[in-house]
Structure 1
């Protein structure tokens, strides 16, 4: 008679866990866009941010609440011009932010076909990357470090402009404060907010500049004068690209970051813990 082999309840338990984990991973591989509870919260926050920003952007007397973040997104816009200029052989003389929500990058050389749209598209791309990072706490930490490098470059180019310096220092202070709160748990929501603001900035600003005609000239109008077409046409094209960046960032975040909130906090403790 062959010997009797018994299987302990722990063995069945381990097998059950393994089967559950494999089933979970298989389910995600078959449906990578399946949203869990943590991702659902992130998507809800993106929707809330979009609605709140859109309302505050257009309501008189309360729009000042967004003013610091508008200045920050304009800094991203000018940073996009500056980086494009450097990448195409140009030289950046200075970056200036205007208290009336404007900005200008003084540069020499570069390829204007690239530098002109780089402001709107650059800020949209930065916003999309921040939204992608906002799906995960550790990724938000990494994003804040990358932002710090971008801020240092912007400070160098804007070292004579007090408004740019104050705006960036306030943004750095906010990110540092969130880094030390509850193991950086609030950081990803701040990164997410800045991302939504920056990603949609080009859409709202183009609407202000070209449709509502709040300004006489814009990057799109200068681009149209140089390369043909209408300013509205180029504005719409850039807006559509910005929206594509936003949608791509959300889809990538859902596919890449599927950890629960507890798992994210635990993972973040191993990366520059606070």
Structure 2
């Protein structure tokens, strides 16, 4: 009987959870602080590196969609003006075109969720770093090389520092990645596809090749709403993972309490 009750508790964990303990409160305060930091620094030189990595993730999502649909990626480039191009052949264009904005929103959501635990942050950081190194195999330009190598070295340094000195560092970094890239994704989606209709943008290409009857600005609006939705979902799942009801899941322990 006891085993059945435990299984039932696990099945209802997503809906039956408590808020807010110390871990969840710290997470929410950091989340809010990162949102304000992203909004304040959005157009400043300070945020240039993280804006470029957001563009990289946008282009990487195009590449992932191409690979999933059996296409070939020839090069992935990020430019200093915060634009980017993924050159590919084959694949399903109706999935590849929207994958940039939508995929970037999903990746930022995953980053937020993974930030809820030290082990999950480590796994996410390793996968992210491997993705940066893989990009170097696809004819990158100089800016892309600098971004990939720079963030690879930075991520490795944070992993080492987290292991030897401060065991919350990796979680703080990954939450920063998730929140900041998510906010930039929302802002860029609105600015590039809703506020204006730029020729050659993903929304215009989607309107021309995928959904002819749907205006490009409406397509962009849907992407922006999805970006907000994914951020909220990421925050929600991270809070669930840090709730008392999920303490027996060793992967999630915000604040480095996994050894307790």
Which TM bucket (shorter chain)? 0.7 to 0.9
Q: Secondary structure at the match of 2:42?
A: helix
- Name the residue aligned to 1:140: 121
Whether 1:170 aligns to 2:155 is: no
- RMSD (Å), alpha carbons: 2.3
Which structure is higher in helix share?
Answer: 1
Of 208, 211, 215, the residue aligned with 1:225 is: 208
- CA displacement 1:198-247 (0-9 Å, x = unmatched): 22333111222134438443101110122221111111111122222211
Return the TM-score normalized by structure 2. 0.83
Q: Secondary structure at the match of 1:263?
A: coil
Answer yes or no: is the 8 Å Cα contact 1:39–1:135 preserved in 2: no
Answer yes or no: is the 8 Å Cα contact 2:80–2:143 preserved in 1: yes
Q: Secondary structure at the match of 2:257?
A: helix
Aligned residues: 237
Structure 1 residues 36 and 165: alpha-carbon distance in aligned structure 2, compared to 1, 3 A threshold? same
Q: After superposition, where does 1:3-152 map in structure 2 within 5 Å?
A: 31-58=16-43, 63-152=44-133
Answer yes or no: is the 8 Å Cα contact 1:202–1:242 preserved in 2: yes
- Name the residue aligned to 1:161: 141
Answer yes or no: is the 8 Å Cα contact 1:209–1:216 preserved in 2: no
Answer yes or no: is the 8 Å Cα contact 1:178–1:184 preserved in 2: no
Structure 1 residues 114 and 91: alpha-carbon distance in aligned structure 2, compared to 1, 3 A threshold? same
Structure 1 residues 214 and 233: alpha-carbon distance in aligned structure 2, compared to 1, 3 A threshold? closer
Q: Secondary structure at the match of 1:101?
A: coil
Unaligned runs of 5+ in 1: 1-21, 268-274
CA distance, structure 2, for counterparts of residue 127 and residue 260 of structure 1: 18
Whether 1:263 aligns to 2:257 is: yes
Answer yes or no: is the 8 Å Cα contact 2:118–2:256 preserved in 1: no
The Cα of 1:31 is off from its aligned counterpart by 4.2
Of 235, 238, 245, the residue aligned with 1:253 is: 238
Q: Secondary structure at the match of 2:20?
A: coil
Larger Rg: 1
CA distance, structure 2, for counterparts of residue 243 and residue 199 of structure 1: 8
Answer yes or no: is the 8 Å Cα contact 1:89–1:109 preserved in 2: yes
- CA displacement 1:49-96 (0-9 Å, x = unmatched): 1122122224xxxx1111111111111100000110111121111011
Answer yes or no: is the 8 Å Cα contact 1:85–1:92 preserved in 2: yes
Greater alpha carbon shift after TM alignment, 252-261 vs 192-201: 252-261
Q: Secondary structure at the match of 2:136?
A: helix
- CA displacement 1:164-192 (0-9 Å, x = unmatched): 11111111222222222224421111111
- Name the residue aligned to 1:270: none
The Cα of 1:38 is off from its aligned counterpart by 1.5
- Ranked by relative contact order (alpha carbons within 8 Å, sequence separation 6 or more), the top structure is 2
Return the TM-score normalized by structure 1. 0.79
CA distance, structure 2, for counterparts of residue 81 and residue 180 of structure 1: 31
- Name the residue aligned to 2:249: none
